[in-house]
């Protein structure tokens, strides 16, 4: 039943909207919330409480308390008091066994009390241990509020908007509006954020109003995220004005959670915004002038108010609410019982300081007014209105707890924490507010402490006799209002790096996989071994555009590389290539690749596929330290790179260049770097042999990627993926940094003693390598062959006397070699050629023998051909 039209009502009585609640159709008006429509429909019990399953009704009507949490359209824990009504919504109660009116589990309220005091679960269900999983299952099912749909995939489109504001005002009450208007008079870019719908459609001159919207916090750099619907507005504001107002504080008295006990703000909203009379006979227990006005407002709309008590002008009293079936039926004030169906009870108003505290403000207790006020605001943040403490005062919210001792007396409605629980926690020794919070879980529920922090602190202060100021508040932790994960996540966007040939691989049916930040082909069919065979017998092509590619140019480029690498590059002749490994200052292997000298002052460095950015940064860092005249230019994305490999590589390449003689064995030797024009595209061709056959790595402008690829394939090159490449390189005994080595591997133990030139004056990692050379070796990387045709997993353990003594880092079955080969770290005394060791494969030990050097074409005749 609605009241006659109210002057500021938000409902549009001409627009009827229907939704279902617990299977029944309920109607409301446009402008209603689901909560207001349900209340108007006569619904009074909105939820059952967390622990005792006590009936709960509307309390704050502002989206703070847990009392109206329901499941709406399958989404649990929706605060229906602020959730806009919408046609066809499916609204269901939650955390109920039975119905809202008859919840089987409310038995815990009646008889559970003595057995389930605060922290009871710590004292029980300990033995026998094997029964804990059973108890736990029950506990888990009792806990929690709403139920998440397991199949409910995300369909909402979330987005983020990056905003800037000169002045951002948080809170659209009187003070906030005045501050915004004053700021707007001085300049543009003023934004006002308000969490209610009150300002929707209102015009504030020069001010952009964002509502309903909630600020989540104030982070460094004036960053204020504001949620409006499914968009997160990330404001960066020069000045932030917090006008968050004050929060009605519940009074703590026996029966204070009964349905029909409400806060003045909630009552006012029902009357003013939705034209609903919250009851027919009300008792008002007020804490000051502002609360007292509610009595008049209620009388104006025809609600009888037989009793008004102002706690600020009367001494402590015994107050107790009496219920019938969970709903308030009467209130006793100092023993005098007054029948009523509504109790407006308030302990006053406490500044909503959380945003400020989280921004770095201090929070101090004001003894005279019984409130915590924010002080020492951080630079760029101001506060106006009630949040500063203006017009705020609370009476001791717990002075009425003595009551007549009948019903429970709740400090925290979210977690069902009573005054008894707090007293008990203190008796047990949890004598700091932080410990008590953790033990009783007070302030840890959905209201985030908005309605229970002050009361719990004051209760604490009284019980421990130390004073509120000394008790202090618990840390203010963002977000200021609960926020959906989806809003924080924003758009689903996880970009992959794709080479310029990427779509050709997809078109050829390649199975794409992540390789670091790149997507690469694993193989083009179900039989990677066929691709291996093509490379050995004929011709293959692999997209290696993912290799890092760095130009180093300048008169001192050679000096820079000499000092970055353990081996020499100063004596490398233009047009020649050398393998290089980068070591850290600690002598650990960081990355490897080839270095080609293109001219006296120009080098072309390739890195691993994941190493481009870190190697560039590493080069730049050292160059900044040493100050050489050399530029470091990362051209990884600018160039595509394709490796054409196999016995037919020269012949095929010869057909794509103007003069086949330029690729003849004599003019283009192994480890030469040459400029070629292939299929009309200018290329840097590197003759290297990572996969063990005659091969040319062609580097050329990315946009020509598909063209060159197509021409090579047309010449009969079979595309091969990463998996065949891994087999091919393993046959040659080539390591992969990051797979065969880890963060502790060094050149000496990785079998590359030949690489570092210790007679060089200096290079990064030299000192560490000298130290390694002096100390006993712990392990060594070697090749091995399995004695049986059994493939160990990568990571398989080498077992000596039942203990892990080493590990397999790579292992593959090789047709060309005829057996299972691999690389492994072994104790140095077992690393000699031919030494037998045992690998654990599927719960048994299988023999293997150390085999140094390449397994395939040990003399390297094929790749040098």
Partner 1 sequence: MREIFFPKRMWRPRGDLKRRYDVVIVGGGSHGLATAYYLAKHHGVKDVCILERSYIGSGASGRNTTIIRANYRTPEGAAFYRESVRLYERLSSELDFNLMFSQHGHLTLAHSDRGLVVAQERAEVNKLLGIRSEVIGPDRIRELCPELDLSDKPAYPILGALYHPPGGIIRHDAVVWAYARGADRLGVEIHPYTEVTGFERSGDRIVAVETTRGRVECGQVVSATAGWSSLVGKLAGLRLPITTHILQAFVTEPLKPFLDVIIVSSQLHVYVSQTDRGEFLIGAEIEPYTTYKSTGTLSFLEYSARHALELFPQLEKTKVLRTWTGLCDLSPDYSPILGKTEIENFHVSAGWGTYGFKAAPIVGVTLAELVATQKTPALIAPFALERFYTDTLVSELAAAAVSH
Partner 2 sequence: MSVTLDFLSPSRCDPDVLVSPLARALAGIDPALVEDLSAQGKVEIRGDADRVEPAEGEELIRLTPRRAFLLTSDPLAAVERLRAAGVRAYDVTGGYAGFAVRGERLMRRLTDLDLERLPAAGPLFLRVPAIVLRDDGDRFRIYVAQELGHDVVLAVLDALDGLQALETAASSEGGA
Q: Indicate whether 479 belongs to the interface with partner 1 (CB under 8 A).
A: yes
Kindly tell me which residue out of 113, 144, 380, 703 binds partner 2, with binding defined by CB under 8 A.
703
Pick one of partner 2, partner 1, none as the site partner of residue 185 (Cβ within 5 to 8 A by kind): none
Map residues 142-181 to x or -, x wherever contact with partner 2 holds by CB under 8 A.
Answer: ---------------x-xxxxxx-----------------
Indicate whether 430 belongs to the interface with partner 1 (CB under 8 A): yes
Please state, in angstroms and rounded to a whole number, the distance separating the CA atoms of residues 79 and 33: 10
CA distance 592 to 205: 63
Quick check: 27 binds partner 2 (CB under 8 A)?
Answer: no
The β-bridge partners of 667 are none
- What letter would DSSP give residue 249? P
Angle at 286 between CA 281 and CA 292, to 5 degrees: 75
| Minimum CB distance to partner 1, residue 37 (Å) | 21
Any residues with CB less than 8 A from the CB of 241 and at least 6 apart, and which? Answer: 167, 168, 169, 170, 176, 179, 180, 183, 382, 383, 384
Q: Which is nearer to partner 2, 37 or 596 (CB)?
A: 596
Q: Is 12 in the site for partner 1 (CB under 8 A)?
A: no
- From candidates 104, 223, 316, 617, binder to partner 1 by CB under 8 A: 223
Q: Which is nearer to partner 2, 419 or 623 (CB)?
A: 623
Asked if 702 interacts with partner 2 (CB under 8 A), we say yes
Q: Which of 431, 530, 553, 777 binds partner 1 (CB under 8 A)?
A: 431
Contact yes or no for 727/529 (Cβ under 8 A): yes
Among positions 89-128, residues that touch partner 1 (CB under 8 A) are 95, 114-115, 117, 120-127
Which residues contact residue 801 at a Cβ distance below 8 angstroms, ignoring those fewer than 6 apart?
Answer: none
Residues 6+ away with beta carbon under 8 Å from 739: 794, 809, 810
547 binds partner 2 (CB under 8 A): no
Contacts with partner 1, 145-164, as mask; x by CB under 8 A: xxxxxxxxxx-x-x------
> Is residue 225 a contact point for partner 1 (CB under 8 A)?
yes
As given in the structure block, the two tokens for residue 600 are: 């006296």
Longest Cα–Cα distance of the chain, Å, equals 113
Q: How far is the CB of 591 from partner 2 (least distance, A)?
A: 19
Contact mark string toward partner 1, 172..211, x via CB under 8 A: ----------------------------------------
778 touching partner 2, by CB under 8 A: no
Contacts with 490 (C-beta within 8 Å, 6 or more apart), sequence order: 158, 159, 160, 232
Return the residues of window 611-640 that contact partner 2 according to CB under 8 A.
631, 633, 635-640
Place of tokens 């929706």: 78
Encode burial over 636-648: b for 16+ CB neighbours within 10 A, e otherwise: beebbbbbbbbeb
Residue 790 within binding range of partner 2, rule CB under 8 A: no
| Listed residue (208, 242, 244, 239) closest to 221, CA to CA | 239
Residue 483 CB, shortest distance to partner 2, in Å, is: 19
Residue closer to partner 1, measured from CB, 563 or 588:
588
Per-residue tokens: 222 = 């004036």
Q: Is 140 in the site for partner 1 (CB under 8 A)?
A: yes
Task: Provide the minimum distance between the beta carbon of 680 and partner 2 in the complex, in angstroms, as a whole number.
Answer: 6
What CA–CA distance (Å, rounded) separates 271 from 279?
10
Among 477, 669, 757, 836, binds partner 1 (CB under 8 A): 477
Torsion over CA: 56, 57, 60, 63 (sign): positive
**Which residue from 223, 220, 236, 229 is spatially nearest to 197, judged by alpha carbons?**
229
Binds partner 1 by CB under 8 A, chosen from 75, 301, 635, 657: 75
Among 174, 427, 600, 832, binds partner 2 (CB under 8 A): 600
**Segment near partner 1 (CB under 8 A); pick from 274-282, 437-445, 636-644, 854-862:** 437-445
- CA dist 511 → 17, 406, 505, 507 (Å): 51, 70, 8, 10
**Scanning the structure block, which residue is given the tokens 């070629």?**
676
Determine the Cα–Cα distance for residues 545 and 639; give it in Å rounded to an integer.
Answer: 7
| Residue 796 interaction partner, one of partner 2, partner 1, none, beta carbon < 5-8 Å per kind | partner 1
Chain contacts with partner 2 (rule: CB under 8 A): 157, 159-164, 234, 236, 491, 493, 495-500, 502-503, 518, 551, 553-554, 574-575, 596, 598-600, 602, 604, 631, 633, 635-640, 673-675, 679-684, 699-707
């Amino acid at each position: 039943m609605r009241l006659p039209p109210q002057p500021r009502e938000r409902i549009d009585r001409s627009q009827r909207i229907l939704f279902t609640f617990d299977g029944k159709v309920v109607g409301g008006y446009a402008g209603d919330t689901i909560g207001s429509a349900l209340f108007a429909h006569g619904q009074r019990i909105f939820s059952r409480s967390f622990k005792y399953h006590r009936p709960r009704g509307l309390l704050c009507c502002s989206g703070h308390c847990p009392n109206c949490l329901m499941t709406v359209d399958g989404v649990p824990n929706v605060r229906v008091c602020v959730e806009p009504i919408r046609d066809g919504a499916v609204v269901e109660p939650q955390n109920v066994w039975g119905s809202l009116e008859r919840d089987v589990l409310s038995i815990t309220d009646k008889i559970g009390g003595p057995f389930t005091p605060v922290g009871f679960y710590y004292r029980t269900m300990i033995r026998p241990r094997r029964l804990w999983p059973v108890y736990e299952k029950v506990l888990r099912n009792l806990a929690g509020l709403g139920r998440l749909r397991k199949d409910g995939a995300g369909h909402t489109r979330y987005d983020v908007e990056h905003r800037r504001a000169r002045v951002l005002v948080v809170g659209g009450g009187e003070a906030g509006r005045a501050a915004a208007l004053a700021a707007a008079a001085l300049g543009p870019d003023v934004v006002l954020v308000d969490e209610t719908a009150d300002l929707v459609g209102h015009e504030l001159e020069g001010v952009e109003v964002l509502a309903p919207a909630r600020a989540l916090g104030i982070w460094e750099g004036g960053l204020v995220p504001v949620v409006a619907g499914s968009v997160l507005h990330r404001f960066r504001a020069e000045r932030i004005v917090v006008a968050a107002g004050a929060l009605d504080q519940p009074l703590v008295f026996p029966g204070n959670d009964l349905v029909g006990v409400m806060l003045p703000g909630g009552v006012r909203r029902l009357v003013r915004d939705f034209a609903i009379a919250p009851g027919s006979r009300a008792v008002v227990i007020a804490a000051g002038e502002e609360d007292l006005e509610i009595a008049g407002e209620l009388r104006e709309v025809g609600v009888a108010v037989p009793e008004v008590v102002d706690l600020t002008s009367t001494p402590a009293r015994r107050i107790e609410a009496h219920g019938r079936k969970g709903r308030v039926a009467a209130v006793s004030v100092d023993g005098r019982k007054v029948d009523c169906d509504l109790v407006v009870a308030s302990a006053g108003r406490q500044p909503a300081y959380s945003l400020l505290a989280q921004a770095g403000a201090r929070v101090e207790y004001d003894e005279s007014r019984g409130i915590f006020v924010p002080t020492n605001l951080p630079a760029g943040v101001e506060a106006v209105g009630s949040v500063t403490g203006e017009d705020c005062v609370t009476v001791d919210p717990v002075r009425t707890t003595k009551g007549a001792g009948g019903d429970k007396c709740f400090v925290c409605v979210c977690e069902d924490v009573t005054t008894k629980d707090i007293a008990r926690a203190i008796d047990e020794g949890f004598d700091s507010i932080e410990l008590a919070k953790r033990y009783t879980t007070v302030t840890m529920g959905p209201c985030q402490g908005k309605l229970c922090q002050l009361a719990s602190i004051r209760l604490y202060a009284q019980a421990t006799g130390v004073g509120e100021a000394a008790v202090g508040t618990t840390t203010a932790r963002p977000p200021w209002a609960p926020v959906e994960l989806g809003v924080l996540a924003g758009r689903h966007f996880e970009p992959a790096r794709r080479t310029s040939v990427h779509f050709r691989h997809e078109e050829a049916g390649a199975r794409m996989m992540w390789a670091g930040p790149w997507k690469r082909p694993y193989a083009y069919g179900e039989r990677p071994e066929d691709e291996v065979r093509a490379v050995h017998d004929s011709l293959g092509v692999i997209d290696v555009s993912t290799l890092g590619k760095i130009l180093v140019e300048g008169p001192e480029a050679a000096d820079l590389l000499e000092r970055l690498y353990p081996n020499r590059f100063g004596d490398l002749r233009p047009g020649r290539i050398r393998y290089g490994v980068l070591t850290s200052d600690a002598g650990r292997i960081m990355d490897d690749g080839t270095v080609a000298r293109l001219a006296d002052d120009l080098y072309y460095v390739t890195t691993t596929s994941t190493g481009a950015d870190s190697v560039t940064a590493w080069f730049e860092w050292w160059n900044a330290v040493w100050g050489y005249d050399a530029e470091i230019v990362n051209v990884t994305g600018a160039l595509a790179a394709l490796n054409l490999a196999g016995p037919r590589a020269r012949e095929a390449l010869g057909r794509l260049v103007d003069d086949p003689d330029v690729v003849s064995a004599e003019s283009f030797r192994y480890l030469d770097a040459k400029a070629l024009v292939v299929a009309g595209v200018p290329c840097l061709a590197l003759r290297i042999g990572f996969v063990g056959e005659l091969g040319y790595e062609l580097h050329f402008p990315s946009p020509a990627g598909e063209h060159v690829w197509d021409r090579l394939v047309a010449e009969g090159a079979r595309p091969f993926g990463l998996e065949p490449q891994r087999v091919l390189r393993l046959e040659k005994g080539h390591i992969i940094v990051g797979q065969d080595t880890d963060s502790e591997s060094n050149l000496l133990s990785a079998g590359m003693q030949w690489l570092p030139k210790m007679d060089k004056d200096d290079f990064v990692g030299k000192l560490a390598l000298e130290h390694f050379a002096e100390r006993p070796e712990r392990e060594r990387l070697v090749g091995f062959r399995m004695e049986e045709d059994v493939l160990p997993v990568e990571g398989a353990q080498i077992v000596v006397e039942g203990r892990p003594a080493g590990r397999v880092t790579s292992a593959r079955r090789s047709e060309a070699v005829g057996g299972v080969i691999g690389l492994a770290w072994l104790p140095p005394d077992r690393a000699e050629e031919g030494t037998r060791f045992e690998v654990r494969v599927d719960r048994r030990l299988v023999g293997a023998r150390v085999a140094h050097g390449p397994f395939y074409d040990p003399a390297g005749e094929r790749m040098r051909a």
